[in-house]
């Protein structure tokens, strides 16, 4: 595999990993914008705009967009997060020019008022649908509480009120501000010709106008602390999350953070698994590390029957305190490394996985890491690195959020949500 990079005069970054042995190619337009980049009045606009991209352009109707993807057998979609909005497709190599044409075209949408008004109702229904899913609602509320005033706490979907009040002109202003070519990365991986790829992207996107664009509040965050109880009577189980600070995406400590999270809360063979899931005290328990621009986060969580909440709360607090004090064992470290190596290798076997991986790395660090380098970075993690991570980001200093039917947890009265 070979890596290439190029920047167009308008600031659009092109990256690619060519693999002649691959049987397909994956392409993605990564826009460096998400809910953290929205004002309160724009809450939910990034996700709403993602939907609008597929509603037609000056060259294509919404039906044409779908039909053109179908004609080339594309596996295509899009997603919005707190930090990125991504549009992607995987196709056979011979269809890459057409995939580039379609994706580049939809990234300059018509944003017609009638489409905006129709799609707004779809978004409002989606907000209600997700809010009815306890796991999603718990996580959304937890993030808002943990981050407090930090923009990473902004909801990706927005609220019923914010989306209802949003206007087409607000969306267009946001699009003009954030979808500048100097705020995008176009990533490709698989079987394709790099020079032809550069030429095609330049023809399709070279005329896009750059703009002054950036990101504010790229600051580390350690949470607001305390136990917060959110009551929703119709939820059957209690969902409890422990959120603490972590290294940002460009920190070398991210490898230690990812490794420790797996040792503490993988869905099998981890400390939380043996303490809560194996004995039947909780239906699920895990620990994850989330890398973000400027501020990472570690999150341990469990879901269980209401009567088990207090006992499980004490167990997790004990586990986190023990890990904070004594870290993990060499056996736990090696087991976590093996799982991560398997994850990295399996993800790299598809062009889509590599396209996403190289774009993420480039977006956060400006660096390219091939599979061997990524494996090397994780394999190099030592117990000393785990200790350094824990000393810098104590996992037992957590903001705890309980979401479910309970009106009181350990003496803290719940707030109905």
**Residues with a known catalytic role:** 50
What distance in Å separates the CA atoms of residue 68 and residue 395, rounded to the nearest whole number? 49
Cα dihedral 97, 103, 107, 111, rounded to 10, equals: 120
In angstroms, rounded to a whole number, what is the distance separating the alpha carbons of residues 74 and 91? 5
Residue 287 sits at φ, ψ, to 5 deg, of -145, 135
Rounded to whole angstroms, how far apart are CA atoms 340 and 363?
22
Q: Cα(273)–Cα(214) distance, rounded to whole angstroms?
A: 41
**Helix orientation angle between 383-392 and 254-265, rounded to the nearest 10 degrees:** 100
Contact 337, 379 (CB under 8 A): yes
Q: Which of 326, 294, 143 is nearest to 217 (CA)?
A: 294
Integer Cα distance of 169 and 333 in angstroms: 52
Q: Tokens for 413?
A: 């009265």
Q: Which residues, in sequence order, are CB contacts of 292 under 8 Å at separation 6+?
A: 82, 83, 152, 248, 249
Q: Quickly list DSSP for 73-123.
A: T-EEEEEE-SS-EEEEEEE-GGGHHHHHHHHHHHTS----HHHHHHHHHHH
Residue at token pair 């501000």: 177
Pairwise CA distance, residues 312 & 276, whole Å? 7
Residue 397: CB atoms within 10 A of its CB come to 14
Would you state the torsion angle of the CA atoms of residues 364, 366, 370, 372, taken in this order, to the nearest 10 degrees?
-80
Instruction: Say how far apart CA 116 and CA 113 lie, in whole Å.
Output: 5
Torsion angles phi and psi, residue 360, rounded to 5: -65, -45
Evaluate whether 405 touches 233 at the Cβ level (below 8 Å).
Answer: yes
Task: Give the span between the Cα atoms of 66 and 60, in whole angstroms.
Answer: 10
């Amino acid at each position: 595999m070979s890596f290439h990079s190029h920047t167009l005069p308008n600031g659009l970054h092109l990256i690619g990993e060519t693999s002649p042995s691959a049987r397909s190619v994956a392409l993605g337009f990564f826009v460096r914008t998400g809910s953290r980049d929205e004002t309160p009045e724009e809450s939910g606009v990034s996700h709403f705009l993602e939907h609008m991209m597929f509603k037609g352009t000056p060259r294509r109707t919404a039906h044409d967009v779908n039909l053109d993807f179908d004609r080339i057998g594309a596996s295509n979609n899009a997603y919005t997060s707190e930090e990125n909005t991504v549009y992607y497709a995987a196709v056979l190599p011979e269809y890459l020019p057409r995939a580039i044409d379609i994706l580049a075209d939809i990234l300059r949408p018509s944003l017609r008022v009638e489409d905006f008004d129709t799609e707004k109702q779809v978004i409002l229904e989606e907000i209600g649908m997700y809010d009815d899913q306890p796991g999603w609602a718990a996580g959304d509320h937890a993030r808002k509480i943990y981050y407090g005033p930090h923009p990473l706490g902004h909801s990706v979907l927005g609220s019923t009120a914010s989306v209802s009040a949003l206007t087409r002109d607000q969306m267009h202003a946001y699009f003009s501000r954030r979808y500048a070519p100097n705020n995008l990365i176009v990533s490709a991986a698989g079987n394709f010709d790099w020079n032809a790829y550069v030429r095609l992207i330049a023809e399709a996107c070279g005329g896009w106008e750059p703009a002054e664009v950036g990101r504010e509040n790229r600051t580390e965050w350690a949470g607001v602390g305390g136990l917060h109880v959110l009551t929703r009577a119709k939820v059957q189980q209690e969902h409890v999350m422990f959120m603490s600070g972590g290294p940002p995406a460009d920190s070398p400590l991210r490898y230690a953070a990812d490794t420790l999270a797996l040792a503490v809360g993988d869905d099998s063979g981890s400390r939380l698994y043996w303490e809560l899931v194996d004995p039947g005290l909780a239906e699920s328990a895990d620990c994850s590390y989330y890398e973000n621009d400027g501020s990472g986060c570690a999150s341990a969580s469990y879901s269980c029957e209401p009567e088990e909440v207090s006992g499980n709360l004490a167990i997790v607090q004990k586990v986190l305190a023990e890990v904070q004090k004594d870290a993990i064992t060499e056996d736990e470290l090696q087991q976590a490394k093996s799982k991560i190596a398997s994850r990295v290798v399996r993800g790299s076997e598809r062009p889509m996985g590599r396209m996403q991986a190289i774009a993420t790395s480039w977006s956060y660090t400006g660096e390219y890491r091939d599979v061997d380098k990524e494996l090397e970075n994780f394999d190099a993690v030592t117990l000393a690195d785990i200790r350094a991570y824990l000393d810098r980001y104590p996992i037992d200093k957590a903001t705890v959020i309980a979401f479910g039917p309970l009106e009181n947890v350990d003496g803290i009265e719940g707030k109905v949500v």
